[in-house]
């Protein structure tokens, strides 16, 4: 399946502009950027704390961070897979040069293989990282 990782440069430029517009909408409706910004409450380690107290606070902070990461990931998956699957599929389809209205003309296996190829390609990952940074600047 043709995708951003294996297309011609002339195809890449035009298609990435279409994807950019779709991703802009996707970022707005899923609120991914704000979900990623959620942080747990972190306790500060008092200067006068003994080593055991310091270790306990550090361990509790690490536990709280890990729990927040898991919650953020769960919330992002709920947004992209459950609440906004059409917008998510549109981005995936465009990455594979499939018109969004034709997304069901390919099997999920084809999309998963293409997705694997996309996330394994450094140039494609750089492109999407840039889109995320631009999305963060525009919010």
Residue 136 has a pLDDT of 61
User: Is the pLDDT confidence value at 123 over 90?
Assistant: no
The string of pLDDT tens digits covering residues 32-80 is 999 999 999 999 999 999 999 999 999 999 999 999 999 999 999 999 9
Residue 117 has a pLDDT of 94
Q: Give the angle subtended at the CA of 120 by the CAs of 86 and 107, to the nearest 5°.
A: 40
Joined tokens for residue 87: 């917008």
User: Is the pLDDT confidence value at 135 over 70?
Assistant: no
User: Is the pLDDT confidence value at 130 over 90?
Assistant: no
Is there a contact between 131 and 16 (Cβ–Cβ < 8 Å)? no
The string of pLDDT tens digits covering residues 93-115 is 999 999 999 999 999 999 999 99
User: Is the pLDDT confidence value at 134 over 90?
Assistant: no
Residue 139 has a pLDDT of 45
Indicate the domain borders of the chain. 9-138
Q: How many CB atoms lie within 10 A of CB 138?
A: 10
The stretch 6-25 carries a mean pLDDT of: 91
d(CA 113, CA 119): 10
Q: Regarding predicted confidence, which is higher, 76 or 132? A: 76
* Its pTM surpasses 0.85: no
């Amino acid at each position: 399946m043709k995708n951003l990782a294996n297309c011609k440069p002339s195809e890449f430029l035009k298609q990435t502009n279409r994807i950019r517009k779709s991703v802009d909408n996707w970022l707005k409706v899923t609120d991914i950027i704000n979900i990623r910004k959620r942080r747990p409450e972190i306790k500060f380690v008092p200067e006068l704390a003994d080593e055991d107290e310091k270790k306990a606070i550090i361990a509790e902070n690490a536990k709280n961070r890990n729990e927040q990461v898991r919650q953020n990931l769960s919330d992002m998956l709920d947004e992209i897979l459950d609440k906004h699957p059409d917008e998510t599929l549109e981005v995936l389809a465009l990455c594979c040069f499939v018109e969004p209205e034709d997304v069901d003309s390919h099997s999920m296996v084809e999309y998963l293989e293409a997705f694997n190829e996309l996330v394994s390609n450094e140039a494609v990952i750089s492109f999407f990282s840039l889109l995320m940074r631009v999305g963060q600047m525009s919010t």
